[in-house]
Amino acid sequence: MIWKKITINTNVEAADIVASVLFENNIIGAEIEDNQNLSVEDLRKMYVDMPKYNIDDGKSKVSFYVSIGEKKISKFNNTDKNLVDSSYMSSYDNIFTKSEFEEIFEKIKSELDEYKNFMDMGSLEIEEKDLDDEIFLNKWKENFNNLEIDNINILPNWEKAKDGKINIFIEPGNAFGTGQHATTKLCVRAIDSIVKKNGNIKNFLDIGTGSGILSIIANKLEVKNVVAIDIDENCEFNLLDNLKLNNISSFYKIGDNFTLIDLDKNDFVYGYGNLITDKKLSDKVKLIKYDIVVANILAPVLISLIEVGNVADYINYNGNLVLSGIIKEKEAEVIDCLTKTNSFKNIKSFYEDEWVLISCEKGEKYELFA
């Protein structure tokens, strides 16, 4: 089946209108690409941090995907279920006969031209690109290559293991964490360094586990007990696939009836919910204390985790807290927050690109004055 990527060139002000016209004409899903810097208020609402690049040129591209031809199920149904979103595989969305699409697209162009009478819509030039199923699937491979971090080799599930390395297989899915992002790289180095330095690490907590990559690495570094928590239950499908890929067969989910984390019997425990606001979940997770707690999220969430979620309560005395997902502009704010708790010592920062990792240890910081 041949798919087309159709891109309409417009500007930032008109991008939402273009997307709305597409939706009103039965086009499902639109990508909007621009170089616009988000405002502080936008970032707060989206709970996201991004470095500022200041390259806004006012232009925008609105793209969508359609298949034109016989209406039949895409070959995606015969591929690994996790390479594309499951709702997309069994859908007829945006699959049209040639005559259907010609009629729809002429109407779209006509409506966009009408808007030009009232506002600047940009050029409205159309770009078309053919993409078959194989190309769609291989896009994952183009952007996901082996990544070696010291003795750890993170690789996609279609690659072969490398001798002499700790090989971590990750299947691309809808959960954050393939090891390619700078924040994840920083975390991998930090975890590996702490394990090498301290030797016997018994308990590890991963807050915001996503694909499970950091928890899986901890398991492969022979950390005895691993607990992985994420706020988004949609990550579970990807997490379980990655556990199987890495031959982790002993795992258990924290559920409503789960009252005790029995880490003598379960090497890997996972659960879903907000540790900051869900007291029932946090009480279960706090049944043990952890030698390493890792949170690779975003600075605003990390600050809430420290101040409201009392992350120090999860950590053994002299245990390690690793915080990542922090842009450089937020570094001082996170450090100040840690310092004010008077619960952490040896606070250190590590950098890659625009991102910062902050590590520290549980324990009060005492200063002597002359």
What CATH number does residue 33 fall under? 3.30.70
Answer with the one of 140, 161, 185 that is the final residue of a domain: 140
| pLDDT in the model for residue 81 | 36
| pLDDT in the model for residue 91 | 35
226 and 346 in a common domain: yes
| Residue 97, in any domain of the structure | yes
Within its chain, how far is the Cα of 52 from the centroid?
20
- Does residue 357 sit in helix, strand or coil? strand
| Residue 368, in any domain of the structure | no
226 and 88 in a common domain: no
Q: Which amino acid, 83?
A: L
Provide the number of structural domains found in the chain.
2
Residue carrying the six token digits 């556990």: 243
| Residue 370, in any domain of the structure | no
Strands lying side by side in the sheet with 152-156: 147-149, 152-156, 166-170
Please tell me the number of Cα atoms within 13 Å of 336 on its side-chain side: 7
What CATH number does the domain containing 294 carry?
3.40.50.150
| Residue 238, in any domain of the structure | yes
203 and 316 in a common domain: yes
87 and 165 in a common domain: no
330 and 250 in a common domain: yes
CA distance 284 to 279: 9
Q: Which of 48, 63, 57, 74 is nearest to 12 (CA)?
A: 57
DSSP H helices in the chain: 15-24, 40-46, 86-89, 98-115, 133-142, 182-198, 213-220, 236-245, 279-285, 299-307, 331-341
| pLDDT in the model for residue 89 | 33
CA distance 168 to 180: 13
239 and 320 in a common domain: yes
119 and 151 in a common domain: no
Is-contact 170 155, C-beta < 8 A?
yes
Answer with the one of 140, 169, 197 that is the final residue of a domain: 140
pTM of the predicted protein model: 0.65
Please tell me the number of Cα atoms within 13 Å of 88 on its side-chain side: 18
327 and 208 in a common domain: yes
| pLDDT in the model for residue 175 | 40
| pLDDT in the model for residue 318 | 93
CA distance 22 to 14: 13
300 and 233 in a common domain: yes
| Residue 369, in any domain of the structure | no
Contacts of 67 (CB under 8 A, 6+ apart): 1, 2, 3, 4, 74, 94, 95, 96
Task: Write out the residue range of the structural domain in which residue 136 sits.
Answer: 2-140
Structure tokens at 192: 């590996």
Is-contact 60 10, C-beta < 8 A?
yes
CA distance 278 to 276: 6
26 and 131 in a common domain: yes
Burial class of 80 by CB neighbour count within 10 A (0 to 12, 13 to 18, 19+)? middle
Answer with the one of 140, 174, 209 that is the final residue of a domain: 140
| Residue 177, in any domain of the structure | yes
Which regions of the chain are under pLDDT 70?
1-2, 35-56, 70-93, 132-145, 172-180, 256-266, 365-370
| Residue 49, in any domain of the structure | yes
331 and 197 in a common domain: yes
What does the angle CA 192 – CA 251 – CA 247 come to, to the nearest 5 degrees?
65
55 and 73 in a common domain: yes
b/e code 243-271 from CB counts within 10 Å (16+ = b): bebbebeebbebeeeeeebebeebbbbbb
| Residue 95, in any domain of the structure | yes
